Amino acid sequence: MTPRPALPRRTYKCLILDHDDTCVDSTASIHHPAHVAGCRELLPSHEPIDLEGWFRVNHNPGVGEYLKTVFGEDKEVIKREMEIWHDFMKARQPDFYPGMLELLREWREAGGLVAVVSHSPADVIKQHYENQKSDKNPHPFLPDVIYGWREDPSERKPNAWPTLQIMKQFDLKASDCIVLDDLSPGIKMATAAGVKSYACAWQHAKLVSELEKCGASGAFFSVEEFRKHVFGMEEGTTGDA
């Protein structure tokens, strides 16, 4: 019998991943078009921000603060804007970046944990993973825990709360974890929790220098670069079992 290949060694115990534009290609296909549709319906005289601008306002000051400047404080307007956003999320399935699901399955097989912290709703994120079911993979990969959008601002990025909850739930130290995010809220969350973070730059790379100023230790420009790092395949990297 051919011996089973040895599992790769892990540099960390838990991957704490952003969802949109980190695991799935979703801003260009879902979130920005939803915002444009909301503006067309609710503020027809307003020219919606372009895609690059949308990335930047999600980075700073954050989507919630930006939307206040566009739609104001009218609760009915905000409610309708959220309905449009949810309709787009329910109707459109984003693609996972090539190699991402394979990496996550390999990570779990090696004994690692996968957590997701996002500003998208947790049920939508779960659905994105569940929809990957196929004849080849009848059992879709699901993260160990998902922290999505929460009404209490203190319980979502950039605050440390989601990461601290993950560490508490799985009895982890800060050094056991790595945060990967393409925007500043996730990097700031990691910094506040004392966890190492990296910028995800395979969707858009223009914010890398700003993310490093927020505390990111560096950036990965491909899923394979990230894979090599977390499995200790980089030169001079030592993994732990």
- pLDDT for 239 equals 42
Q: Which amino acid would we find at residue 26?
A: S
Q: Quick check: helix, strand or coil at residue 31?
A: helix
- Residue 161 and residue 233: Cα distance in Å, rounded? 31
Q: Are strands 24-25 and 145-147 parallel, antiparallel or unpaired?
A: unpaired
* Tens of pLDDT, residue by residue, the chain (241 residues): 455 455 567 889 999 999 999 999 999 999 999 999 999 999 998 899 999 898 888 888 888 788 888 888 888 988 899 899 999 998 999 999 999 999 999 999 999 999 999 999 999 999 999 998 777 777 899 999 999 999 899 999 999 999 999 999 999 999 999 999 999 999 999 999 999 999 999 998 999 999 999 999 999 999 999 999 999 986 544 344 3
Annotate 94-126 with b (16+ C-beta within 10 A) or e (fewer): bebbeebbebbebbbebebbbbbbbbbbbebbb
pTM above 0.95, yes or no: no
- pLDDT for 238 equals 39
- pLDDT for 42 equals 93
- pLDDT for 70 equals 87
The one-character DSSP state at 215 is: T
- pLDDT for 65 equals 84
Q: Are strands 177-181 and 196-200 parallel, antiparallel or unpaired?
A: parallel
- Residue 190 and residue 216: Cα distance in Å, rounded? 9
Spatial contact of 238 and 10, defined as CB atoms under 8 Å apart: no
**188: enclosing H helix or E strand:** helix 184-193
CA distances from 8 to 109, 178, 188, 234 (A): 9, 17, 30, 12
**Residue that is written with structure tokens 């290949």 in the block:** 5
Spatial contact of 180 and 15, defined as CB atoms under 8 Å apart: yes
In CATH, which of 3.40.50.20, 3.90.1150.10, 1.50.10.20, 3.40.50.1000 is domain 14-25+95-230?
Answer: 3.40.50.1000
- pLDDT for 7 equals 55
Domain coordinates in residue numbering, the chain: 14-25+95-230, 27-91
Helix, strand, coil shares of the chain as percentages rounded to 5? Answer: 45, 15, 40
- Residue 213 and residue 25: Cα distance in Å, rounded? 25
Spatial contact of 177 and 159, defined as CB atoms under 8 Å apart: no
- pLDDT for 134 equals 72
